[in-house]
Structure 1
Amino acid sequence: MSSSNKPTVLVVDDKENMRKLFSRMLGDAYAVTEAADGEQAIACLASCDFDVVVTDIQMPGADGFAVLREVKRRAPETEVLLVTAFASIPKAVEAIKEGAYDYLSKPFDPDEVALVVARALEKRRQGREVSSLKARLAVAPGLHGMLGESPAMRALHGLLSQVAARDLTVLLTGETGTGKELAARAVHRESPRTSKPFVAVNCGALPAELVESELFGHAKGAFTGATVAKPGLFEEAHGGTLFLDEIGDLPLSVQVKLNRALQEREVRRVGTTVPVKVDVRVVAATHRDLSAEVAAGRFREDLYYRLNVVTVRLPSLRERREDIPLLAMHFLARAGRPEVDSFTPEALRALSTYEWPGNVRQLENAVARAVAVAQGTRITPEELPPEVLTTPRAASTAPGVRATTESLAKLPYREAVDGARDTVSREYLTALMQEFGGNVTHAAERAGMERESLHRLLKRYGVRSDDFKRTE
């Protein structure tokens, strides 16, 4: 960045009129430096770190390829755009294989130039973010596996640590997939009971006829198949922590006995009246609104108040979007394919703007799926689950499309503007292809741009001209 805080662009061309043209097109938004040839450009690279380099391919002496190689040698994160005549497009494609971000074919449209430079800058920014994510992951603050640097997660870590020190019943609430079992384990490990057992059970997964036996145990002969006496989960967790996940799914008949077990600190195995004393800390969790369940008669009021000693709500992933890239890199590292070691900037952006109704669990599954189908070393948007690409948050709140003032105010300025531009561009291109039946030549004439430029925009926004071909 320059001292003016504008992104820096180096324009390299042996024709002064071309350099001046780029300076006029980019000067308002960028700090532009001009170089009259490849040698001068290479000298500039030695003294300044540029965000984007725009260079002509055909120049006397050191050409655009020489500039590209020097940029990638000195500053691999700097993005390079090649400027070429239509006849030299194969050379530009070759340059892209060597690391150039994109190319601009003459004559070019000023709006397209601004768009491509902006995207190159965004790729550089996000490339730096990926690099920093890898470094941060090694030292990321967390609580026994609960990764997160967002204010919401830092507050949660502090609250769980405080709660863990006191031997009280804890009720964890929040949407499905927010990591309630991880939170329960964190409470256990931070507590004085950490050396004792941690026993977890999903109440919703137990058959109704076996719930009581699983929780409290049974005597020999208590029912058909009970050939031996068996302790229940309360006894297994003696001295430690019992995690009752999805407690809102417990049958009412079992809720009565659970309430008594918590009150008396003892259980009675099915088939016997002999009480067994247990020393257990209970951490319960639910995605349901238990107060509403009580009002509806589906959950006992006395048990609700016995569980609701300390309630901790886990934030949804939508409330901690800052953590999405870090979590994605964490799941990537655990996925078992070391050769797939990062995401493209576009893929990270797609992950960060999706709504994630299934929260962290859905994100983990999405990354695992992407790793399984990845063709290269970086995960691309095309390798993400389709739903991640079809319902981005930015698109749903784009200005002038479907946004409200309130929803826009919740977005960073750049994200709101980028989302609006992406949405309008995609919808415009779709309408354009629909109008001309997929004929790119005629559509380019209407759009006022070169055919190759329109092709690149269609590819960038995922609009396939073949989908609009008309059959006679």
Structure 2
Amino acid sequence: MTWDMTVLIIDDEQTILKTLGDELFAEGYDVHCAGSIEESVGFLQRNNYLCVISDIRLPDGDGMELLEAIKRDRPDTEVVMITGYGTIDSAVAALRQGAFDYVLKPFYNEEIVCILNRIREMKQLKEENTNLKKVIKERISLDRIIGKSKRMQDIFNLIQTVAPTDANILIVGESGTGKELVAEAIHHLSKRKDNPLIKMNCEVFSQSLLEDELFGHEKGAFTGAARRKPGRFEMADGGTLFLDDIDDLDPRVQVKLLRVLQEREFERIGGTDTISVDIRIISASKTDLRTASAEGNFRTDLFYRLNVVPIKLPPLRERREDLPVLIEHFLKMYSKHPDVHFDSDAMNLLLSYDWPGNVRELENTIEGTLAVAGDAEVVTLHHITNDAVVRCEAVPEEQYNSSLALDEVLNEYERRHLRSVLAMTEGKKSKAAELLGISRKSLWQKLKQHNLDPE
């Protein structure tokens, strides 16, 4: 900060300005000196200060009033009051008004140096604490989204890049891919993080209730409106509004939402007063809104307003290399013992399943499976509670029938095995090639053959 080593001394005694100023300069401080309140005003307007050292009695005013003004206008600047006419009452009054310390004349210059050192240490601790809280909040925000794959790392980087801006964001992904977690991370990494994050699911409300939830209503606006109710837009003022499942938004509400996005203002239901809000909109959709707008099912102008920064979350089946780390994460979250693990058959089954419900389905499956496993340290196929996952084991057997050619069966098994090995090696091609007993070039060719993204 610019005030880290800058000090202003205000005193009408030239000897104090000279001797104390020289001492502080020798200690490495940038020192400014003023003989009166009037002279100090120019310094205070042009500079930021670590500390102002001021006499209580000054030729053109009261130092206590100056203290009050400094703490009101510059709360981060510390003030040390000095006086030759000190009393207990004046000391208490100064400290109550925000003075950092109170020193009686005559004093040793070293005493002021020690006070300044304490101020610097205090500010350094505050800054370190603030930075630590920021780092912890950022880490918590992103750590809830699990993924080591390149696609997820690219998404993490995009989140950190766009979060500090006020750009509207549209998150697109299948159910269970973590759209709400991404919205929460963006908010907590933004400059709006200390203001509310208000969430709204557009799918669960009828058109009339949805309008009421978004815009609020005035007392008497309709039968049962016994008092004024603020809507989600008002509640999110200064913060972020997250609109989930916006692809289910009623067309009549789409028109009103467009106006809020354009003007940042609206009226409550039954009201005439226009309410202005400062909000950021993050929306989420489980379908492609561009296609929906092209088909006439979603307003094109609203789509472009929402889609300033698009974030597309891949389904779990398209980032299988993240499965082992996700499974490990949920094991730690729900297991009773640190040594609990899946046996090879159970793990291979979890890795081969397509997870149409994505991360949410995986988490629910592991939570339920561990509940059934009880105190067992080794979790087996018999403990898995998700019937769809268990049935997945029987699919390859069904392929052994006379209607399938041998090369079709072999190709399918090869594709499944490649996918499973890549998941176990977390996408590391060299390790996968080593486990498969083939060259890296042969692995690349097979991945390309099976459309498994060789890059």
Q: Same fold (TM over 0.5)?
A: yes
- In 2, the alpha carbon distance for the partners of 1:389 and 1:410 equals 16
- In 1, the alpha carbon distance for the partners of 2:208 and 2:148 equals 43
Partner of 1:190: 189
SS of corresponding position for 1:239: coil
Partner of 1:242: 241
The answer to whether the 8 Å contact 1:340/1:379 transfers is no
SS of corresponding position for 2:242: strand
Partner of 2:365: 366
User: Comparing 403-412 with 174-183, which one deviates more in the overlay?
Assistant: 403-412
Structure 1 residue 338, shift from structure 2 partner: 4.1
Partner of 2:418: 412
1:255 aligns with 2:261: no
Partner of 2:321: 322
Query: CA separation of 1:352/1:336 partners in 2, compared to 1, >3 Å: closer, same or farther?
Result: closer
SS of corresponding position for 2:287: coil
- In 2, the alpha carbon distance for the partners of 1:368 and 1:414 equals 22
AA paired with 2:247?
G
Alignment of 1:429-440 (within 5 A): none
Structure 2 gaps, min length 5: 1-138, 425-455
- In 1, the alpha carbon distance for the partners of 2:181 and 2:394 equals 27
- In 1, the alpha carbon distance for the partners of 2:178 and 2:198 equals 16
Partner of 2:282: 283
Structure 1 residue 170, shift from structure 2 partner: 0.3
Alignment of 1:202-221 (within 5 A): 202-221=201-220
SS of corresponding position for 2:284: strand
The answer to whether the 8 Å contact 1:317/1:360 transfers is yes
Query: CA separation of 1:142/1:393 partners in 2, compared to 1, >3 Å: closer, same or farther?
Result: farther
- In 2, the alpha carbon distance for the partners of 1:373 and 1:185 equals 32
Alpha-carbon displacement from aligned partner over 1:301-340 (angstroms, at most 9, x marks no partner): 1111111111110011112112212212222333364478
AA paired with 1:412?
L
Partner of 1:303: 302
SS of corresponding position for 1:205: coil
Partner of 1:382: 382
- In 1, the alpha carbon distance for the partners of 2:218 and 2:319 equals 48
Query: CA separation of 1:221/1:391 partners in 2, compared to 1, >3 Å: closer, same or farther?
Result: same
Structure 1 residue 295, shift from structure 2 partner: 2.5
The answer to whether the 8 Å contact 1:318/1:356 transfers is yes
The answer to whether the 8 Å contact 1:354/1:393 transfers is no
Aligned residues: 278
Superposition RMSD in Å:
2.9
- In 2, the alpha carbon distance for the partners of 1:194 and 1:260 equals 25
SS of corresponding position for 2:292: helix
Structure 1 residue 164, shift from structure 2 partner: 0.9
- In 2, the alpha carbon distance for the partners of 1:232 and 1:357 equals 35
Partner of 2:223: 224
Alpha-carbon displacement from aligned partner over 1:24-58 (angstroms, at most 9, x marks no partner): xxxxxxxxxxxxxxxxxxxxxxxxxxxxxxxxxxx
Larger-gyration structure (1/2): 2
- Give TM-score, length-normalised by structure 2: 0.56
The answer to whether the 8 Å contact 1:142/1:148 transfers is no
- In 1, the alpha carbon distance for the partners of 2:365 and 2:346 equals 11
SS of corresponding position for 1:299: coil
- In 2, the alpha carbon distance for the partners of 1:226 and 1:334 equals 44
Query: CA separation of 1:402/1:374 partners in 2, compared to 1, >3 Å: closer, same or farther?
Result: farther
AA paired with 1:325?
P
